[in-house]
Amino acid sequence: MMSNTVLYDHPGPRARIRNAVLTVVFSIALLALLWWIYRKFDEAGQWAGALWEPFAQSNTWMNFILPGLGQTLLAAVTGMVLSLNFGIIFAVGRLSEHWWIRVPAGVVVEFFRAVPLLLMIFFIFFGVPFLIQGPVSAFWAVVVGLTLYNGSVLAEAFRAGIRAVPRGQSEAAYAIGMPKSLVMQHILVPQAARSMLPVIVSQLVVLLKDTALGYIVAFPELLQRGVNDLSANYGNVVAAAMVIAVIYIIINSLLTMLANWLDRRSSRRGGRTPKVTGLPVVPQESGGAVSVATPGTN
């Protein structure tokens, strides 16, 4: 039997030919664009060996790239942990039955989603010291800004995921006497996190890339150290930007692979059927036959 979906029909012979032709045309156009970019950079001398030679030296990696990468990963991991907790807490708050919890949680989420992240980092670093009468480090200015913005986006993702869980799941839990806190903790939030995993991973990738905005407060992350500081010493800003871009691509690809592995693992666990063993053998009164009692029967 042919299995057709509602949103997609399998292309016919003419459509397959048309798709193949368009693929070839766009591939040629892309190769032509890449060749044009290569020629322009070559005419400007950006492929000169002197500009790329610093990346073959250990001092470049030890003094610029690796320290910046370490700060980027530290800020990203800290921001990811705090953002996930922020998102779960405020998603549950927005779903609260009490208006005095639901309304403030909604105001917080909508406010921090609307404020640009760059402006938020700038205000935390330069404005908050006037309120607390003390300095704020560049690291925490970046981390707090990432947490407030990405946590608010994740809160909406978690809220949508919780609402997408079939209502029968929570109704069955309430029927056996589980309080709402346990229903959220053990039933709704885990299922929502599993279903919204692609959205969560996409937002965490965005968070990792947004650490580059720390340059506004001179946070020594990968972009600041690997492009600005390195090119100031060697005058190779284009080469440095290409190398740092490749590093970002590798890190984000590894994060996506980790998320896919977690998704496959959770799917295998969720699809397992518990094995029932040790069923009692109940003798029948007539004929001496025996039968196996099944759970839930009298």
Dump the DSSP string for 213-226: GGGGGT---HHIII
| pLDDT confidence of residue 282 | 47
- Cα separation of 68 and 215, whole Å? 11
**Helix/strand/coil percentages in the chain, nearest 5:** 75, 0, 20
Reported as a pLDDT band with limits 50, 70 and 90, residue 2 is very low
Confidence of residue 195 (pLDDT cuts 50, 70, 90): confident
Residue 290 has pLDDT above 80, yes or no: no
The region of weakest confidence among 18-22, 229-233, 257-261 is 257-261
User: pLDDT at position 3, please?
Assistant: 46
pLDDT in tens, 103-143: 999 999 999 999 999 999 999 999 999 999 999 999 999 99
pLDDT of residue 278: 45
State residue 7's pLDDT score.
55
Distance CA 27, CA 115 (A): 39
How does pLDDT run across 250-268, given as a tens digit for each residue?
999 998 888 888 778 777 7
pLDDT of 45 > 70? The answer is yes
Domains of the chain: 59-268 (1.10.3720.10)
pLDDT band at 58 (very low <50, low <70, confident <90, very high): very high
For the chain, give the secondary structure using H, E and C.
CCCCCCCCCCCCHHHHHHHHHHHHHHHHHHHHHHHHHHHHHHHCCCCCHHHHHHHHCHHHHHHHHHHHHHHHHHHHHHHHHHHHHHHHHHHHHHCCCCHHHHHHHHHHHHHHHHCCHHHHHHHHHHCHHHHHCCCCCHHHHHHHHHHHHHHHHHHHHHHHHHHHCCHHHHHHHHHCCCCHHHHHHHHHHHHHHHHCHHHHHHHHHHHHHHHHHHHHHCCCCHHHHHHHHHHHHHCCHHHHHHHHHHHHHHHHHHHHHHHHHHHHHHHHHHHCCCCCCCCCEEECCCCCCEEECCCCCC
Mean pLDDT in the chain? 86
User: What sign for the dihedral angle of Cα 195, 197, 198, 200?
Assistant: positive
Residue percentage of the chain with pLDDT more than 90: 62
Question: Would you mind telling me the total number of residues written for the chain in this entry?
Answer: 298
CA 6 to chain CA centroid, Å, is 29
Which pTM was predicted?
A: 0.80
Of 5-14, 63-72, 115-124, 245-254, the poorest mean pLDDT is in 5-14
With bands split at pLDDT 50, 70 and 90, how would you rate the model's confidence at 223?
very high
